[in-house]
Structure 1
C-alpha cells in the first residue's frame, strides 16, 4: 500500500513516497481502517521540522479518519462500514493523564507510525466513532485540535453559559474554541494580526476582535471590553511571549489553558503576579478517549461543524505543511486522500 515516510534530516522536502506491506487482517481486539483524511497540527509540524525526536522513516500525521474494513475477535464497539476517527493518546482511555508518563511514545506520527497511509490496523480503542453526518475530512479535525479546545474549555475550564472567553490567533485550536464557546452561550474575544481573519472570526460568532499588531498591549483592550474585570477563560496557544498578557487579560481567579508555545519555550512566568491574581493555569495536552467520546456527542447535539481553510492531496503533504508554517490559514488544513495531486481546494 502507499504511504509517506519522513526521512532525516527532517523537513518538508524529506517526505519519501513509498509502497509498504499491507498490514493484513486485524487481530483480536483490533480493527482495520481504510483511511480517507487527516489534518495538520502544530505537533505534526514540530515532528516534520525535527523539533521533536522521532525515528527515521516515521510515517507522519497524528489524525486519521476513515472506514472500518474488518474487525478482529472480541471487538463489539465497531462494525464493518463504520466511520471512525483516531485518538491522539491511544492508551489514555479515561481518567486523569496518568498514562502520559511516556510522553508521546504511543502518539501516532510521533512515537509510532501515523496515518499518512492507505490502511491502518490498530487496537479498537485507538479510534472512536466519527460524528454522524460529518465527512471524513471534517472528522479528521477532532483528534488533536478539536479535542484540545474541548478539554481546555469544558473539561478543565468548566465552561458555562455567560462566561467570557479569550482566544489567541485563528489556528485550528483557537477556532474550535471560538465555536465551542459560542455553542455554550459564552462571549468570545478573538485576537489576530489580520483584520480579514478577525472578520472571519466575527462571522463565526466572535463578539469582539483585537488586532494585536495594532494593539501590542492587547490585554488593555481586553480589560476595556470587559469593564476592567477580565475574561473567565484564556485559550493560551502562544506560550512565554503571550502568557503575561494572558494573565493580565484574565479576571482574578480566572482560568488559563496553556496549550502551545508558538512564541518559544523560555520559562518566564511572572509567578508573583500569578499568585496575586489567584489564577489557575492548566497545561493541556489534547485529551483522553473518553473526552473524545464526549466531544463527538457534543458536536452531534449542537450541530457544530469544523472550519477547514484549505485541503490538499496526500501526495502534496509538503505543500500543506508549507502553508501551515507560513501561518496563512484560518482554522484547519485538511488532507483529503481522495484528491488528485496538485489540486488543493
Structure 2
C-alpha cells in the first residue's frame, strides 16, 4: 500500500512510501481509507510548531473515514463492509478526560490516516453517519466532536441560549450548526464580511467583523440587550480571551479550543470571578460524545461545510491552502 510519511518537519518532509498492508490483530479492524480531513493540529505537527514533541517518522492526519476490509479475532463491534470513522482518542471511550490516554492520539503519537489502509482498535472507531458521504464523514473526528463536546456533552446547551463562535473554521462552523439544531441563537465573529454572510446563510443571527470592531465584545453585549452570551467557542487564545470574558453572561461558559492568535498573553482571574464564568479546555471528546453526535447528525440531517477537496496525494498543496486561512469550512483529502 501507499502511505505518506512525515520524516522530518516541514512540507519537504512529507514523502510517499510503499508499505505492506497491515494485518489486524485481536480486537482490531483494517480499513481501506476513503477520505481524510485537515485540522490545525496536523499543520502544526508538520511544520514543527506543535506544543508537544511528536516522534517521527509519522503517518499524519487524525481525521478519516474508511470501509472495514478485514477484522481480527474477537471483534464484536464491526464486520467487513461497515463504514467507520476513527476516533481521535483511541482509548477514551467515555467519562471524564481523566480516562483519556495521551499516548493514544491518532495522527501523533499514533500513526494517522494518510495511507491507503489503516488498522484501528475496534474500540477506537464509530459507525459513520448514514446520511453523509465519505468526504463529509471524514471531517467529523476532531472538529465536529470538539464542537459537540463543548456545547452538548459539557455545556448542556438549551434552546433559547446564545452562542458566540469565533471565526469560520471547522470547529466554529460545526458549533454554529449544532447550536442552531439545539434551538440556540448564534453570533459569529470574522475578519471577512463575505464569510459572515455565508455564516448567516447557515443560520447565524448576527455577524461581527472584528477587524473593523476591535472592541467586539461591546457589540455582543449590545446584541444581547446587555446580558452577554451563554456559550463561547474560544479559538483565538489569550489575545481574544479578554474580549470573550467581557462578552460572556453571568455564569456563562467559555470553551477554550485553540490559540490561533498566539499562546502568549495576560488574563486577569478577577474577571472570571466577577461573572462566575465557567472556563474549560476542550480536548476534542470521547467516543461516547462522537456516537451521540452522530445520532443527532442523522436525526437532523446535518451536513458538514466543505471548503475544498484535494486528491490525497496533494497533501502539501492542501496544507498550504489551509495555512493561508482562506477556507470556509473543512479541507478534505479524497482517496
Alignment TM-score, normalising by the size of structure 1? 0.95
Distance 1:325 1:254 in 2: 32
Match of 1:295 in 2: 293
Match of 1:6 in 2: 6
Match of 1:60 in 2: 60
Match of 1:185 among 173, 183, 186: 183
Please give the residue correspondences for 1:45-56 in structure 2 after superposition, counting only pairs within 5 Å: 45-52=43-50, 53-56=53-56
1:253-311 CA distances to partner (integer Å, 9 max, x unpaired)? Answer: 10001110111222522211110111000110000111111011110111101001001
Distance 1:177 1:65 in 2: 21
Is the 2:131–2:301 contact (alpha carbons within 8 Å) kept by the matching residues of 1? no
Distance 2:89 2:220 in 1: 35
- Give the SS at the match of 2:99: helix
Match of 1:278 in 2: 276
Match of 2:91 in 1: 91
Is the 2:165–2:175 contact (alpha carbons within 8 Å) kept by the matching residues of 1? yes
Please give the residue correspondences for 1:10-25 in structure 2 after superposition, counting only pairs within 5 Å: 10-24=9-23
Is the 1:44–1:109 contact (alpha carbons within 8 Å) kept by the matching residues of 2? yes
- Give the SS at the match of 1:5: strand
- Give the SS at the match of 1:242: helix
Match of 1:254 in 2: 252
Distance 2:240 2:49 in 1: 21
Distance 1:273 1:27 in 2: 52
Distance 1:327 1:315 in 2: 21
Matched, 1:39 2:33: no
- Give the SS at the match of 1:190: strand
- Give the SS at the match of 2:104: coil
Is the 1:28–1:74 contact (alpha carbons within 8 Å) kept by the matching residues of 2? yes
Matched, 1:240 2:211: no
Distance 1:261 1:94 in 2: 26
Matched, 1:82 2:82: yes
Please give the residue correspondences for 1:104-183 in structure 2 after superposition, counting only pairs within 5 Å: 105-183=103-181
Q: Calculate the aligned-residue CA RMSD, in Å.
A: 1.0
- Give the SS at the match of 2:238: coil
Distance 2:31 2:203 in 1: 36
Distance 1:186 1:98 in 2: 30
Distance 2:274 2:26 in 1: 54
Is the 1:252–1:279 contact (alpha carbons within 8 Å) kept by the matching residues of 2? yes
Match of 1:308 in 2: 306
1:217-241 CA distances to partner (integer Å, 9 max, x unpaired)? Answer: 1001101100111011101011101
- How far residue 13 of structure 1 moved from its aligned partner, in angstroms, is 2.6
Is the 1:252–1:277 contact (alpha carbons within 8 Å) kept by the matching residues of 2? yes
Is the 2:160–2:184 contact (alpha carbons within 8 Å) kept by the matching residues of 1? yes
Unpaired stretches in structure 2, ≥5 consecutive residues? none
Distance 2:281 2:261 in 1: 16
Is the 1:230–1:251 contact (alpha carbons within 8 Å) kept by the matching residues of 2? yes
1:62-93 CA distances to partner (integer Å, 9 max, x unpaired)? Answer: 01201011122221211111110000000011
- Give the SS at the match of 1:268: coil
Distance 1:76 1:272 in 2: 51
Is the 1:156–1:282 contact (alpha carbons within 8 Å) kept by the matching residues of 2? no
After the TM superposition, list the runs of 4 or more consecutive aligned residues in structure 1 that deviate by more than 2 angstroms: none
